[in-house]
Each structure stands twice: as C-alpha cells, then as structure tokens.
Amino acid sequence: MDEAAIMASLRDLERGREQQRRELDRLREEYDTLAGKLRYPGTDFLVQLEYQMVYEGTLTAVASTLTTSPIFDTLPGALHAIYALSAYCPTSNVPVIVTDGSVIVAPADAVSVAIQRQLRTGPTRIEARVAMYASTATDYPIAVKVWRRLGMGS
C-alpha cells in the first residue's frame, strides 16, 4: 500500500467516524427528549398513550340527592372497560370520595362519586355515566374527568 492509498483510507475512516458521531448525537438527543417526557407520569404524553378521555365536565351535586351525568361511553355487547375517575370541588374544601363501584351515602358534608355501568338490550350494550350523592346541606359544583384505559379488550 502506498502513501496515497493510506491517506485516502485514513480520510474515509475519519469521515465514517464523524458520521457515526453525528448519528450518536442525534440518538442521544432523541433519547433525552423521550426520557424527559417519561420523567413525569402525569404528562399529557403518557395519558394519551395509555388512556382516552371520555368525559370532562362540572356537575352540580344537589344536597341529599343522587345526581348522574349524561352517558359518556357505550360499549357494544357486554364488553368491559377500565376507567380512571378524578373529581374535586373547585369552590369549596368539601371532601369528595371517589369509589370503585356504586356511590355511597357519604358521611355528613361529603360527596361520593363513582362510575355507574348499566346493561341495556336492543342492541346489547353497556352504558357508562358518572353518579354522585351529596350528603351535604348545600349544592356544590364537582369537576369530573373520566379516562378509559386503552388496550386489549377495551
């Protein structure tokens, strides 16, 4: 191998090394972006990956009354779905009890919130809505969000 061939091989190696360095820098930048998104589990990024928001609204919890939202989700047949429910009172510090199942008659001065599922026929379907019971002397607005978990069978 003569000197010119060695120099050409050396330049080719340097170009290849520079190209690999740029590719590594790009991959590091993409990794840092993704790691930043995954660092905070409450970010919209993760919520949209795993959950679909099916209801968002403010309902009025009427004193000593069962209140329901409009139907927010209809599942064909007798399918099941996993829901995540979040609720709070934006105007007061009245306790809001989120239950998995039916609403409960909450202790005095509290609001119980749950997801109500009901089987319907003609055609067979499951209808889902928010239900709440206020064990209070006054009415309270309750901010509610419901997400359905995405995945197999959902």
HSE, CB side, 13 Å, CA atoms: give it for residue 23. Answer: 6
Q: Does 153 score more than 90 pLDDT? A: no
- The encoded tokens of residue 131 equal 């239900």
Pairing state between β 96-98 and 83-88: unpaired
State percent of the chain over pLDDT 70.
89
pLDDT tens profile 132-144 = 999 888 999 999 9
Q: Does 154 score more than 50 pLDDT? A: no
The alpha-carbon radius of gyration of the chain (Å, integer) is 27
**pTM for this one?**
0.63
pLDDT bracket for residue 16 (50, 70, 90): confident
Q: Measuring CA to CA, how many Å separate 30 from each of 23, 34, 59?
A: 11, 6, 42
pLDDT tens profile 30-86 = 888 877 766 665 566 655 667 788 899 999 999 888 989 999 888 888 788 888 899
> What pLDDT shows up at residue 39?
67
> What pLDDT shows up at residue 48?
63
